[in-house]
């Protein structure tokens, strides 16, 4: 038996969305399908304490060797997808769901003289429209609610026959849950039209019926018939409660493959849902390596060629529609090729609205989760981290192992609010306590290379100052005794945190976001400071090239290289950190006021001045006496405000009386 801990996913990898999960055995067979409102909470319950599980569940988690999940948009979608896959895979541990052989459907027997609404299970019958599936409790409630708005016949054949013979309707007819066609209260044609409306509503045309009822309610109110308006209002509430648009179940004649992508510079996650007869019959997913300069349309074209290019994949599988996130390259030729394989027309298109567009969004969510899961597992894998660090060391011909890597990035908008960021990776993992932010001002803010030079200079100047301070302290008499005493104090005092070192030690490698100019600027800063044991490289975004100082040609790492993936991840983290600091600084700069620089003028008094005068321009034009009309502004502060703005305007300040700044008393001159 397998150990559940051997395939348990990390908690952070599991989404909190509703969805459906599948346990597979070592042979890849699905042995259990379940649904959850919160996938993370439900899946964690299987692994938290396997010994405390029920016997059947305990056997299931020890028989399985892997678990996977699919995100959907709502609990109703998870129920329907769970049902579809239980019928598809017949998992051995889903005994509870297979007892009734099927979920209940809401059915309308349009083939009968008087169509009947009823709950049906099992095989489908000719001439009957089906809607669902539902849970047993939900379908009864739905049916009962809809019959008050659409009083279609719901009685059995025997009850109908007795009512026709006696000329009296059954109980449902007396309580207005049936229009009683059996006794002629409604004609056969009108009753069939009522059944057609019922089917149209269940088929997704709720808006039309709700709008019609809203007009009826407005008309009743205009006629002062408030009782009828109240009944119609209740009908509207009932219809809105019943109707919930479903992205998983489409029209019964829908046969389509729905593809979605989520990609970054190096990789792309692909998900496809196979829809047959309006139901999702299967799901597949891949994470593929992207080729340089591959666009999304090219990726879609290559994907369809791969999926449908083999004879075994095409037989019985090619649908009428192939729904994609973007129109592929050579779309017409591709559609013609697929049509030739199928022997009938195949439409390749991008759904823009409606149920198919909603389903495409659900598939895209699954692709996004798949790529995040792939990257988190790759980043958290100790073997992959070690391989990445070793690959970088060998590719860059570095003498020492890369224990610490620092990455720097510059962020600004057209040269304003220039900032720099430094992120740190130790042993291949982020060390966020060592992240740093830099504000770049003056001449250094003129361009990216000057800003990079400034940031590197400041970072390593701090390091050199720390080293010099430590060397000076070590040279003092009694230094060793002081260290011993400090060590004893640390042992005795376990509550006081140790002082945080600013820049404890230098990195083995500095990575800058950019190409040759940024790398040369960073290397120049290190040379000027005399730091010669730190290596510098740059990672250019467009082609993911690795640049070395004073080199005319970049180092090209393989696209699937673990080392390149590590550099990309560090670069993206530095970019994210710089962007967040830039936005913060830019937001503060946008709220700066000319009143902020006035000495002694706090926030509440600034608000009082603006409330009194309306604008900074009016405050500047006001005299000292006029300023005192604002709440909290005394003669001394008013005089200071006038003098401050007079100096800023470059004009000679007017002669002001001497003021006692403590009491506000005007002194004689």
CATH number, position 371: 3.30.420
Q: Please indicate, yes or no, if residue 60 is contained in any of the structural domains.
A: yes
Give residue-wise pLDDT tens across range 513-545: 888 888 888 899 888 888 878 889 888 876 778
Contacts of 77 (CB under 8 A, 6+ apart): 18, 246, 247, 248, 362
Q: What is the CATH number of the domain that holds 548?
A: 3.30.420.340
Q: Please indicate, yes or no, if residue 566 is contained in any of the structural domains.
A: yes
Q: Which of 538, 562, 589 is the last residue of a domain?
A: 589
Q: Please indicate, yes or no, if residue 32 is contained in any of the structural domains.
A: yes
Query: What mean pLDDT, rounded, does the chain reach?
Result: 78
Identify the weakest region by mean pLDDT among 35-39, 179-183, 583-587: 583-587
Strand order in the sheet with 321-323: 279-289, 267-276, 256-263, 321-323, 347-349
Looking at the structure, do residues 272 and 418 belong to the same domain, yes or no? no
Looking at the structure, do residues 583 and 615 belong to the same domain, yes or no? no
Identify the weakest region by mean pLDDT among 38-42, 94-98, 386-390: 94-98
CB-based contact 513:574 (threshold 8 Å): yes
Q: Please indicate, yes or no, if residue 146 is contained in any of the structural domains.
A: no
Looking at the structure, do residues 543 and 516 belong to the same domain, yes or no? yes
Q: Is the dihedral of CA 286, 290, 294, 296 positive or negative?
A: positive
Looking at the structure, do residues 599 and 576 belong to the same domain, yes or no? no
Looking at the structure, do residues 402 and 421 belong to the same domain, yes or no? yes
Looking at the structure, do residues 415 and 344 belong to the same domain, yes or no? no
Give residue-wise pLDDT tens across range 48-102: 777 777 767 888 888 899 999 999 887 767 777 887 787 778 887 775 433 333 4
Q: What is the CATH number of the domain that holds 42?
A: 3.40.1440.10
Q: Which of 378, 395, 410 is the last residue of a domain?
A: 378
Q: How many domains does the chain have?
A: 4
* Helix segments in 558-669, DSSP class H: 562-590, 603-613, 616-621, 624-627, 635-648
Looking at the structure, do residues 413 and 434 belong to the same domain, yes or no? yes
pTM reported for the whole predicted model:
0.43
CA distance 90 to 548: 58
pLDDT for 419 beyond 70: yes
CB-based contact 515:412 (threshold 8 Å): no
Q: Is the dihedral of CA 470, 474, 478, 481 positive or negative?
A: positive
Q: Please indicate, yes or no, if residue 192 is contained in any of the structural domains.
A: no
CB-based contact 595:601 (threshold 8 Å): yes
Looking at the structure, do residues 561 and 626 belong to the same domain, yes or no? no
pLDDT for 303 beyond 50: yes
CB-based contact 317:293 (threshold 8 Å): no
Looking at the structure, do residues 370 and 392 belong to the same domain, yes or no? no
Looking at the structure, do residues 537 and 625 belong to the same domain, yes or no? no
Query: What is the model's pLDDT at position 136?
Result: 54
Task: Provide the domain limits for residue 339.
Answer: 256-378
CA distance 155 to 171: 10
Looking at the structure, do residues 507 and 369 belong to the same domain, yes or no? no
Q: Please indicate, yes or no, if residue 650 is contained in any of the structural domains.
A: yes
Looking at the structure, do residues 561 and 642 belong to the same domain, yes or no? no
First to last CA, the chain: 100
DSSP state letters, 272-299: EEEEETTEEEEEEEEEEEPPTT--HHHH
Query: What is the model's pLDDT at position 497?
Result: 45
Q: Which of 351, 378, 405 is the last residue of a domain?
A: 378
- What is the per-residue burial (b if ≥16 Cβ within 10 Å, else e) of 593-605? eebeebeebeeeb
């Amino acid at each position: 038996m397998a150990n559940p801990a051997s395939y348990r996913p990390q908690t952070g990898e599991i989404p909190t969305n509703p969805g459906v999960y599948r346990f597979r055995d070592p042979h890849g067979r699905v042995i259990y399908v379940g649904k959850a409102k919160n996938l993370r909470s439900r899946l964690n319950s299987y692994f938290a304490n396997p010994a405390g599980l029920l016997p059947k569940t305990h056997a299931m988690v020890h028989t399985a060797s892997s678990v996977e999940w699919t995100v959907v948009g709502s609990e109703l979608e998870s129920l329907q997808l769970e049902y579809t896959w239980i019928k598809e895979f017949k998992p051995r541990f889903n005994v509870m769901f297979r007892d009734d052989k099927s979920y209940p459907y809401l059915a309308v027997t349009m083939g009968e003289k008087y169509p009947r609404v009823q709950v049906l299970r099992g095989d489908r019958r000719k001439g009957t429209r089906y809607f669902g599936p539902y849970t047993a409790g939900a379908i009864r409630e739905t049916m009962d609610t809809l019959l008050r708005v659409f009083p279609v016949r719901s009685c059995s054949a025997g009850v109908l026959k007795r009512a026709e013979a006696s000329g009296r309707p059954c109980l449902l007819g007396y309580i207005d849950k049936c229009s009683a066609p059996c006794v002629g209260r409604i004609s056969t044609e009108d009753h069939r039209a009522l059944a057609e409306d019922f089917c149209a509503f269940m088929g997704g045309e709720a808006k039309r019926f709700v709008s019609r009822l809203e007009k009826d309610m407005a008309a009743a109110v205009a006629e002062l018939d408030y009782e009828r308006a109240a009944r119609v209002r209740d009908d509207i509430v009932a219809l809105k409660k019943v109707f919930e648009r479903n992205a998983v179940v489409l029209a019964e004649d829908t046969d389509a493959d729905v593809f979605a992508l989520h990609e970054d510079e190096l990789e792309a996650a692909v998900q496809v849902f196979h829809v047959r007869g309006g139901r999702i019959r299967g799901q597949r997913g891949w994470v593929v390596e992207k080729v340089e300069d591959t666009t999304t349309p090219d990726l879609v074209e290559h994907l369809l060629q791969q999926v449908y290019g083999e004879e075994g994949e095409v037989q019985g599988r090619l649908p009428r529609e192939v729904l994609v996130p973007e129109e592929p390259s050579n779309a017409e030729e591709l559609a013609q090729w697929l049509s030739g394989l199928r022997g009938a027309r195949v439409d390749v298109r991008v759904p823009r609205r409606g149920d198919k567009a909603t389903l495409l969004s659900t598939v895209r969510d699954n692709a996004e989760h798949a790529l995040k899961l792939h990257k988190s597992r790759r980043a958290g894998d100790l073997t992959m981290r070690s391989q990445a660090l070793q690959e970088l060391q060998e590719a860059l011909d570095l003498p020492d192992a890369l224990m610490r890597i620092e990455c720097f990035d510059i962020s600004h908008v057209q040269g304003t609010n220039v900032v720099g960021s430094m992120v740190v990776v130790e042993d291949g993992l982020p060390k966020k306590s060592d992240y740093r932010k830099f504000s770049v001002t003056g001449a250094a803010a003129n361009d990216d290379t000057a800003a990079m030079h400034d940031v590197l200079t400041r970072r390593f100047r701090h390091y050199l100052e720390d080293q010099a301070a430590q060397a000076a302290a070590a040279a003092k008499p009694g230094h060793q005794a002081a260290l011993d005493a400090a060590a004893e104090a640390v042992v005795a005092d376990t509550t006081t945190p140790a002082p945080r070192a600013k820049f404890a030690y230098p990195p083995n490698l500095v990575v800058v976001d950019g190409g040759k100019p940024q790398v040369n600027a960073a290397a120049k800063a290190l040379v000027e400071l005399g730091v010669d044991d730190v290596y510098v490289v740059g990672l250019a975004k467009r082609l993911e090239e690795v640049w070395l100082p004073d080199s005319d040609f970049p180092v090209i790492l393989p696209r699937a290289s673990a080392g390149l993936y590590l550099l990309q991840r560090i670069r993206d983290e530095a970019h994210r950190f710089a962007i967040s600091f830039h936005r913060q600084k830019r937001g503060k700069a946008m709220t700066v006021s000319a009143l902020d620089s006035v000495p002694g003028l706090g926030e509440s008094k600034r608000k009082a001045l603006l409330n009194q005068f309306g604008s900074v321009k009016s405050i500047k034009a006001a005299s000292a006496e006029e300023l005192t009309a604002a709440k909290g502004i005394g003669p001394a502060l008013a005089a200071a405000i006038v003098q401050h703005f007079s100096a800023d305007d470059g004009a000679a300040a007017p002669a002001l009386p001497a003021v006692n700044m403590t009491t506000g008393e005007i002194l004689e001159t």
